[in-house]
Structure formats: C-alpha cells, structure tokens
Amino acid sequence: MTTATNRRVTAPTQPPGPEKQKKKRLTFTGGLMAPGVAVLALLSILPFIALVVMSFSTVQLLGGVRLSWAGLDNWSRALADPDMWSSWLKTIIFLGATLGLEMVLGIGLALLLHRVTRGRGLLLSLILLPMFVAPVIVGLLGRYLTDSTFGLYAWLLNQMGWEGDILGGTTSAFVAVVLMDVWEWTPLVALITLAGLSSVNPSTMEAASLDGAGYWRSLQHIVFPSISGILLVALLIRAMDAVRYYDIIFVTTNGGPADATKIIPIRLFENAFRFFDLGYAATIGLMMLVLTILIAQGFVRVLARKD
Amino acid sequence: MLNRRELLRTGLLGAGALAAPGLLAACSNETTARMPALKAGEDPWRRFAGTTINFISENTAPTAAIAANLKPFTELTGINVRIVNLELSALVQRVALDMASGDSQYQVVYADPYQVLAPYSAGLADLREFIGAEDFPPLEGGLEDFIPTQMDAAGRFAEEGPVFALPYDCPTMIWQYRIDLFDKYGDAMADELGFDPTPGSDRTWDEYLQIARWFNDNADEVSYGTGHQAKQHDSLMCDFSNILWSYGGDYFAAGEQIGLLGLRDPGKCTLNSAEGVEAAEFYSSLMAAAHPASRTWDWDGVGAALRASEIAMCPNWHEFAASNEQALPGKVGYAPLPKGPARSAHMYGGTGIAISDNAQGAQRGAAWLFVNWATSPETQLSNLRSSAGGGTPTRTSVYELPQVRAAEQRPSDLPNMLTAEAVRTAWEPDNVGLRPKIPMWNACDTAIFTELSKMIAGQSPQETMDNATERFDQIVERGWVA
C-alpha cells in the first residue's frame, strides 16, 4: 500500500519519456471503453465518413461499388432543386402538424388518465395499442379505411356530404398521413406525460388547492412547470422520429398525389433505391442529418437552460 | 522470451495474415468456378443435378404458376430452384445490390426491360452462350417462336445481336368492359350519342369519353363509367402513354427504336410537342369524368374497382382476365383500346427472364436450364392451366394449339385466353406501345407520372408537358453511371 502510494506521488516528478507518454494515453477506463468505441466507430463513424465521401462522388454499382470524384455537383444540384425545397417545406409542415397534434392530444389524454382511479391500467393498455402496431401496418390499415370503394372513413365522410377521395386530394392526402402518424404515436406522448404527472408532488397540489387555485391554474403554475422537462424529452423523441417518417407515406400515397406528401425521406429513398443515384441520395441524407442535429441541439439547449 | 500478451498479439497477427488472402479470395470474382463438362452419353438436362439456384421474380402470375408446380423441372433436371417473389421496386433494388456485390445471390433474374434490362444489361449474361450450344438441350422452336416484338422489347438492349433475356410474361393494356351493361344500355347509348358504343378498334378516345360520361349520368349499376390507374405511380405513366401515342406524341424523337431495342442516349425529349400537349389535354378531360378514386388506384386498384362494379370500363392489363372471370363470370369483355388521331396504342408491359453474369460454374448452366424450361411451350401451356396464376404465353406456337384456340371463347377453362383476340391486335407492330427502353428510365418515369399527377390536381396540360420535358432533358443530360 505504501509502495503504491509512493509510486503515485513520485511518478509526476520523473520526466515523461516518449514510451511512458504513449502508455499513459490508454487509461484503465479508456481500455474498458475501447471495445464500445470501436463498435460505435464501425457502426456509425465509418458509414458517416462513407456517406460524406459519397456525397462528393458519383457512385457506380456494376462490377463492384466504385466512386468517382464529382466535386460539389451533388450539393449544388440539391441546393438548386426547387422540388427538393418543396419537399423540405412539406417536411417542416409535417413535423409541425404531427408534433403539435401529438403533444396536445397526448397531454390531454394523460391528464384524463391521471384523474381516472378505477381501471386506469386497462384504459392505458387500450390507448397504448396503436403504438405497438408496425408503421407499415398502420399505413395499410389507413389505406383500406380511406379507400373510396370499401373504406369506412371514406363512407362516413361520404355520408356527411364530403365528395372526393381522401388519398386522391392533395390536402386531404396530407392530412390523412398526418393523422395516421398522430393515431400511432399520440399514445407514446400520453405515456411519457403520464409518467411525468405521477412525479408531481401531491402535497404541492393539495397546498395549491387549499390556497384556492383551480384546476387550470394548478396545471398552468404547478403541473406544467414540473413536467416541462419530460415534455421536452417526449417532443425530442417524436421530432427525431418524425424527420425519418417514411413507412406510412410509402404504403399509402408513395409521395403523391402531385407530390403533396413527398417529404424528404421519400425523396431520399427514391433517389437511393429507385434511381440508384447514391451520391445525390447521400447528400440528401446528410442534409437530413443536419436537420436532426439542429433539432436535437435546440431541445438540449432548452433543457440545459431549464436545469 | 515472449510474454503472454506478445504471444497472443503475434498469434493473432499470424492468424490474420494467413486468413486474409483466403478471405479476400472468397470475396473476389477471380475465383470463378468452371462449368462441369457434359460427359459422354449424359442427358444434358441432368448435367447439373444436385445444384441449387435462386430465381428472383416480381410477384406475377407466371411465377405464381411455376412456383406452384416446380416438380416437373426438379424431376427433369435434379436442380433445386428457390424462388423469391417480390414487388417490382423491391426486386430492382435486390438485383442492383446483388450485381454491385460482384456476386450472384440470384442466378436467374426477372429482367424488367425498363428497370433491370436497360440499366443493368452489362450485368446480365448473353444467352447466345447457351442457345445452340451442343452441350445444352436445344431451345424448343428457337428464338423465332417468341413473338417478334416481345423478343426485341424484353430480350435485347441497344443492339440486335446479344440476347439478354427470353420473353416470360406479356401483360398488355386493353379495353376491359362490362358486357352486361353494354348489352343493356347499348341501344339507348347509340341513340343518344349517335354512334355504336360497342368497344372495339373502331372506337375513338373521344367516343370512349362520351360513353364514360353517359354511364356517369344514366347507369345505376356502377358509380362511374370509367376508372383509371392514375395514382402517382408507374401505372399513371402506363395509362397516359396509350393516349400519348394514339395522339401521335412520344417521349423521344426516335420513339420506335427506343421502344423496341432501346438506346443508351435517347436525345432530346419531345413530350411538349403539339401532339403531346393535345394528348395531355384529352387525358385531363378523361380524368375529370373518371371515378375520383382513380387518383389513388394503380392497376390492382382499377382492377378491383371493375370487379366491385364501381366502374363500367377501364384500360388495364389483359392478365386481369382470370380474376375478372372469377368475380364476374361471363360479364367482362375485352377489346383493343380506342384509337386517337394517329393510331391505336397498347402499352406492353412484358418481361423476360435473364441470367446474372456473375453466376458461375454449375449454377450458371443450371440457370440456363431453368430459363429454357420456364419459357418452353410446354411450361407456358401448363401455366395457362394453373389455378395458382398463369399469365399468358409469349410463344406463337402455344397460341396456335387447338386447345388454346378453343379457350378464346366462353366457356373457357383458360380465362386469360379470352383476351387473345384483343391482345393479338394490340401486339401488331402498328398498335403496340413501347415505352422508352433507356438506362435512366426510372427517373424519367418518375418525372412524367409526377407531372401528370400534378396535372390531375390542377396544373395545366401545357405546363405539365413543358415541366416533364425539362426534367427528362436534365435526367438524360446527367446520363446513367451505375
């Protein structure tokens, strides 16, 4: 023990030789982390580097993948393409609409569930069901329910005097795919919010009630400030997911009609796996990555400010 | 003296050094297996017995029939065939990635002329290597037995010589209509419209539109007169192309050459010609009278709508006849599509089956035996009879068989043959409609169906054709690099 302590004390006084410096770099903790970092590098960093390289290249597939230098061609094409900007606009609107609706409905559902004392478990299980359905199945269900020949929703709207085809109109198709996502993911927001509500101190609520604060005032001044952090996390999770929204649109409208639902992930897929224009697709992918990072950083900053 | 760590490091490096060449060799194309030679007296069909090959196909009727009855092939050759059935766009992805790997996970490929053959012909084997080779069984009837237009459209690319695929299926768009409704209302329609509405090659597209409107206003049995596959999808391009060609328009100046053999560089787009714009104007009017759900239907959707009595008629692929006959026995009739000011045009959507050029050794030979067998007259006849699917033959000899001829009339045990008269007219060189067979077709296809979808949503026909032309020219200018 004494020897070890002495060694630790005396070590810094010795001039560090090059060999010792090298050894010092990999600490015990570093050694433990090394396999994880290596796997991370293999799974994320290398593909990321490949993606960056591809975005400056023309990718040829036949006879093995080959890259030829294309300079800024893919980037200038992406930035000058009006269809691409139109898709970005639709992506932003889609993001705003789905997040807004999911947050409002999810919080509303959670508040209702929080007040339920009997059968909450059963209700919660029922409400959570859509979340467990694969998005592609949600798309197929949506397509059948909105089909003008045999779809239930189409029939109901028809009975109410609405003429036309839900997935055939530019606005109605966009609204339909937004609502399909909202149907599937509102339960997640409700679940996260409910967890937050459970953590609100009951004695604070009781004190507010004794002081004469009504339900809405308590929500405004006690509940929401208490759960705002958790709401931001819910918003962050959904935002990151909504940027990559793909399955439901692919199954229902495939970006149509008239490109009304062609958000960026659909355009990315189209360029990558329909046209095999992999260099251009890599550029779109990197643009999506930038947006995702910006959104994530925005939320993290708000969270940090709150703390 | 090596310590434990150094020993371990040295051992790992040594093992890596020994394994690397082996691993690299395993990944390399250089280690190509040789095809086993035919032994004296050996049955050429049994030459590759015990080999397993993979066939990747679109989920089409002929493949459904073949998958349901592979036993005759396995008994004949001793070869095992695994069939992967996929939706077309998924198939194209798999084939492209398989070719990119330099390997051949799929030895036999369903080679759509526009999405696989044209862009990836360099990755497909030239079948002349097998046709006529003495150590392989002969191709029954030779290449001449295949319908000539289909042989060029589905089997060749850019030049006359190489044969990359043998015609395997041949869906073609024809006029499908409710016989019972035309029988019931034919006279009243003729009185009001002033022409005989009976579907046939004498009808014009203008008359078709008038018939559709008449049904909209007068028939209770159906919701609308006509329905179309006008979803923002490949189907919209197919539906519109019939009208484009019949009005004298085309995608490129060298229309026939591009459609039949294909070209690597098609030149400038001609979609915004006066004829092209006129066709777009007519299509716009047609869509205004069509079932509103047409905007969400592809070929399956419009087929289901006809069978569900939502519409009285539609242009659709002739291979839907079997399912029509199941749902509405005796009630659906088939005719060539109406003509326009220039001609009558019928979109041909046939495909060939090909062999991946990366296939090596016994698998390469076995793949050819399968291609030979799957496109043989006997198999095509068997497919026609299959309850699992079937499609229609691509060989003239099969159409000439007495039992096939007899099945062209009701009652028919081969319901797809009810369309034979209509498709024979459709395949005549003057009537066939062949989209451009160019490597960059996928991007061009997306450009035209997106612009058409915008037109259906309100964009003007002139703007539609101008935009499509501009996008085609940009795509062609960028060229095809994959």
Q: What's the DSSP call for residue A307?
A: -
Nearest CA in chain A to B233: A254
* Residue B291: predicted pLDDT: 95
Round to whole Å and give the CA distance between B298 and B316: 10
B454 → closest Cβ in A165, A254, A258: A258
Between chains, do B293 and A149 touch, taking CB under 8 Å as contact?
A: yes
Domain layout of chain B by residue ranges: 50-171+350-400, 173-347+428-478
Q: Is B453 on the interface with A (CB under 8 A)?
A: yes
pLDDT higher at B257 or B309: B309
Q: Per-residue pLDDT averaged across A28-53, rounded?
A: 90
Q: Is the pLDDT of residue A52 over 90?
A: yes
Q: Is the dihedral of CA B444, B450, B453, B457 positive or negative?
A: negative
Among residues B176, B198, B422, the alpha carbon closest in space to that of B303 is found at B176
A260: chain B residues, CB-CB within 8 Å = 457
Between chains, do B453 and A275 touch, taking CB under 8 Å as contact?
A: no
For residue A143 the two structure tokens come to: 């397509």
Domain layout of chain A by residue ranges: 81-306
Question: B169 forms bridges with which residues in the sheet?
Answer: B351
Residue-wise pLDDT for B449-463, tens only, equals: 999 999 999 999 999
Round to whole Å and give the CA distance between B443 and A66: 21
Nearest CA in chain B to A261: B232
Residue-wise pLDDT for A71-116, tens only, equals: 999 999 999 999 999 999 999 999 999 999 999 999 999 999 998 9
| Contact residues, B window 260-299, toward A, CB-based 8 Å cutoff | 291-296
Q: Is the pLDDT of residue B36 over 90?
A: no
B443: chain A residues, CB-CB within 8 Å = 274-275, 277
Domain A81-306 indexed as CATH 1.10.3720.10: yes
B442 → closest Cβ in A62, A148, A274: A274
Question: pLDDT confidence of A25, banded at 50, 70, 90?
Answer: low
Between chains, do B305 and A168 touch, taking CB under 8 Å as contact?
A: no
Q: Is the pLDDT of residue A164 over 90?
A: no
* Residue A246: predicted pLDDT: 92
Find out whether B63 and B85 touch, Cβ atoms under 8 Å.
yes
Question: pLDDT confidence of B198, banded at 50, 70, 90?
Answer: very high
The CA-based angle B404-B406-B407, given to 5 degrees, is 65
Q: Per-residue pLDDT averaged across A149-161, rounded?
A: 91
* Residue A8: predicted pLDDT: 42
CATH superfamily of B173-347+428-478: Periplasmic binding protein-like II (3.40.190.10)
Residue-wise pLDDT for B66-76, tens only, equals: 999 899 999 99
Round to whole Å and give the CA distance between B173 and B338: 11
Query: pTM of the full predicted structure?
Result: 0.85
Find out whether B206 and B184 touch, Cβ atoms under 8 Å.
no
Q: Is A286 on the interface with B (CB under 8 A)?
A: no
Residue-wise pLDDT for A212-267, tens only, equals: 888 889 999 999 999 999 999 999 999 988 888 999 999 999 899 999 999 999 99
Find out whether B51 and B362 touch, Cβ atoms under 8 Å.
yes
Among residues B205, B170, B229, the alpha carbon closest in space to that of B348 is found at B170
Q: Is the pLDDT of residue B13 over 60?
A: no
Domain B50-171+350-400 shares a fold with domain B173-347+428-478: yes
For residue A73 the two structure tokens come to: 């061609």
Residue-wise pLDDT for B322-349, tens only, equals: 899 999 999 999 999 999 999 999 999 9
A168 → closest Cβ in B123, B293, B305: B293
Secondary structure (H, E, C), A73-130: HHHHHHHHCHHHHHHHHHHHHHHHHHHHHHHHHHHHHHHHHHHCCCCHHHHHHHHHHH
A277: chain B residues, CB-CB within 8 Å = 443
Q: Which CATH architecture has domain B50-171+350-400?
A: 3-Layer(aba) Sandwich (3.40)
